[in-house]
């Protein structure tokens, strides 16, 4: 492996299996370091394509999302680092696929628990093809001031505290990602900081070894000394011992192998990593530390003395003129995410939507403050739910039952009315349910089903002003306005609409007052004197009776009643009800496998 530097300020990567937080941390690090371009060229999310919005400093950017590794490598040929956040189940396959791409040079495998046989195959392929694997079971790596992998070094505060936004003089390699963060902090306290840091991972078979990276650091001019943190278990550290003995390392190495406490236990102890288990005296922390010390590494007597050993070695290099400490720079301010700033009380921001009828937060959704469990356990009906969501209150049972009756009576009126006809034609054209439903709903208006609000509005105005039926009807005639809720193409004085009769019967039985309906009936009596088909239709019946419901329940103020009528609540009732029938007609046509509808010629008057 040897060679030299893995990363630079122009390094770009491909990120496999989208994870918002580590990606944003990488981009924030890029901005902190003063990079001109983001270090992530593309995201690979199997089965997805498009773009993902993220922040680069204060600027919002769109990073391409690709569905396959091959597509991403083809689209971004300069991206030579593959950061694999796949689970241990698929990490090996996706990593091997990335290694086989000619553009990929470094693969970082974050997942723990990759099968050892798979890890061995990856390692063999990488070595045979001169490629580098960091991991498995790694947090990644970082080149200070240039590039970092995923969550390496943790939060921005930690990165700034450890001076990782600019390069230092120390090359650091460790098995542990968590201990890497600790050592970055330690090194920053007593030296000018790290130049590059790598966590090779804690699995039994890491893709690259401690000695691989020490030998690589040895070839990087900017690295003046190395710090190595090993752990008990395995024999990786002995390859570093051999390199030191053979004179392959020409720079000071400060090393410590953790796990010396293992001897205090009577039986073998498995520490956090899969590889952190002593398989004999040679694999003990004490034996490794002694071997490293004898090979020429600076090895303290305990972990507590590691910081002093690093400091002394660094200061000695300064005295010898081998290190000129880097000048400190002030990193740019990273804009704080709005949600974090709001939680910390630093800013306040307006909301974009106001909702007063439902709330999905907490343990269960609620409608107008009534928990879903209550709605189900207490047997609420459709009318009850509608009263909560539309009127923001629980109406008396006779009111909600009236609402349900209206929905049932208005659900359908046969295939010949305009709404149903439109839906049938659309369904027979092979369109989907939503398209068929909407084509029918779009016919609802002043001439079809949409007169309930107008009927309520005009009947209420006339009654409240004390107009006689004559004054009301003739006044409307002078304005050129048909009386909403009066008139039917089929029904007449001798063929009354059964739906209207049922609604009137229910209201007489249950409503405390029916003054608006009675007024509508007196208007009907007058209009029938003019024409036999000017009967009170279902729109007029529902409109007038809903006024009685609102006024008679005692639960609405006059202003609320006026607002309900003005907004269009009552037409909403017809839309809700008729949607049931229109959906039924759609399913009916689909079930019957009806062909495309074509209107017959003989039913068209062709004229000049």
d(CA 112, CA 118): 12
Q: Map residue 347 onto helix, strand or coil.
A: coil
Q: Strand, helix or coil at 171?
A: strand
Catalytically active residues, by annotation: 273
Coil/strand/helix, residue 444: coil
d(CA 170, CA 190): 11
Distances (CA, A) of 348 to 2, 59, 339, 340, 344: 53, 20, 10, 11, 10
Q: Which of 204, 175, 209, 212 is nearest to 117 (CA)?
A: 204
* CB atoms inside a 10 Å sphere around CB 335: 13
Name the pairing type of β-strands 106-109 and 40-44: unpaired
The answer to whether residues 156 and 173 touch, using CB atoms and an 8 Å cutoff, is: no
Question: Going by C-beta distance under 8 Å and a sequence separation of 6 or more, which residues neighbour residue 53?
Answer: 60, 61, 62
Strand duo 59-66 + 50-56: pairing: antiparallel
Using CA atoms, how far apart are residues 35 and 145, in angstroms rounded to an integer? Answer: 8
| Cα distance between residue 525 and residue 84, in whole Å | 80
Question: Are the CB atoms for 417 and 445 separated by under 8 Å?
Answer: no
C-alpha 72/C-alpha 69 separation (Å) is: 5
């Amino acid at each position: 492996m040897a060679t030299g530097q893995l990363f630079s300020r122009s390094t770009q990567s491909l990120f496999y299996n989208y994870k918002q937080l580590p990606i944003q941390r990488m981009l924030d690090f890029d901005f902190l370091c003063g990079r001109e371009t983001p270090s992530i060229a593309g995201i690979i999310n199997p089965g997805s394509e498009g773009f993902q919005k993220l922040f680069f400093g204060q600027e919002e950017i769109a990073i391409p999302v690709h569905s396959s590794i091959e597509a991403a490598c083809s689209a971004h040929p300069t991206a030579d680092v593959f950061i694999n956040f796949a689970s241990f189940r698929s990490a090996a396959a996706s990593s091997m696929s990335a290694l086989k791409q000619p553009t990929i040079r470094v693969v970082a495998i974050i997942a723990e628990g990759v099968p050892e046989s798979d890890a061995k195959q990856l390692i063999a392929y990488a070595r045979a093809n001169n490629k580098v694997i960091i991991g498995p079971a790694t947090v990644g790596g970082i080149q200070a001031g240039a590039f970092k992998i995923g969550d390496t070094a943790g939060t921005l505060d930690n990165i700034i505290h450890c001076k990782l936004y600019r390069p230092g003089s120390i090359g650091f390699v460790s098995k542990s990602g968590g201990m890497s963060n600790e050592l970055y902090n330690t090194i920053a306290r007593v030296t000018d900081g790290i130049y590059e840091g790598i966590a090779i991972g804690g699995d039994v078979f890491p893709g690259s070894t401690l000695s691989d990276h020490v030998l690589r650091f040895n070839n990087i001019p900017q690295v003046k000394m190395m710090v190595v943190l090993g752990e008990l278990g395995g024999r990786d550290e002995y390859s570093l011992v051999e390199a030191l003995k053979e004179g392959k390392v020409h720079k000071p190495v400060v090393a410590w192998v953790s796990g010396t406490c293992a001897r205090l236990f009577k039986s073998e102890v498995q520490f956090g990593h899969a590889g952190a288990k002593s398989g004999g005296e040679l694999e003990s922390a004490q034996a490794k530390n002694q071997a490293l010390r004898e090979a020429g590494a600076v090895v303290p007597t305990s972990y507590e003395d590691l910081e002093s050993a690093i400091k002394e070695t660094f200061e000695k290099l300064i005295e010898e003129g081998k290190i000129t400490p880097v000048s400190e720079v002030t990193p740019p301010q990273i804009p704080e995410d709005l949600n974090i700033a709001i939680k910390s009380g630093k800013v306040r921001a307006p909301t974009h939507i106001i909702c007063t009828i439902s709330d999905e937060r907490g343990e269960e959704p609620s409608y107008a403050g009534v928990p879903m469990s209550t709605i189900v356990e207490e047997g609420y009906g459709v009318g009850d739910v509608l009263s909560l969501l539309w009127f923001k209150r629980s109406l008396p049972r006779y009111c909600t039952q009236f609402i349900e009756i209206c929905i049932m009576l208005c659900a359908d009126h046969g295939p010949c009315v305009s709404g149903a006809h439109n839906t049938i034609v659309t369904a027979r054209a092979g369109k989907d349910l939503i398209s068929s439903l909407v084509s029918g709903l779009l016919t609802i208006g002043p001439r079809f089903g949409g007169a309930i609000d107008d009927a309520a509005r005009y009947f209420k105005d006339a009654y409240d002003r004390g107009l006689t039926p004559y004054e009301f009807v003739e006044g409307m005639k002078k304005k050129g306005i048909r009386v909403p809720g009066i008139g039917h193409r089929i029904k007449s004085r001798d063929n009354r609409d059964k739906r209207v009769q049922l609604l009137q019967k229910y209201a007489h039985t249950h409503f405390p007052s029916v003054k608006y309906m009675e007024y509508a009936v007196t208007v009907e009596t007058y209009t029938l004197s003019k024409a036999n088909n000017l009967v009170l239709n279902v729109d007029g019946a529902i409109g007038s009776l809903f006024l009685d419901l609102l006024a008679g329940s005692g639960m609405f103020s006059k202003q609320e009643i006026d607002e309900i009528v003005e907004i269009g609540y009552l037409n909403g009732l017809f839309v809700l009800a008729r949607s049931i029938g229109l959906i039924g007609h759609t399913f009916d046509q689909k079930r019957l496998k009806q062909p495309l509808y074509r209107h017959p010629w003989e039913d068209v008057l062709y004229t000049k």
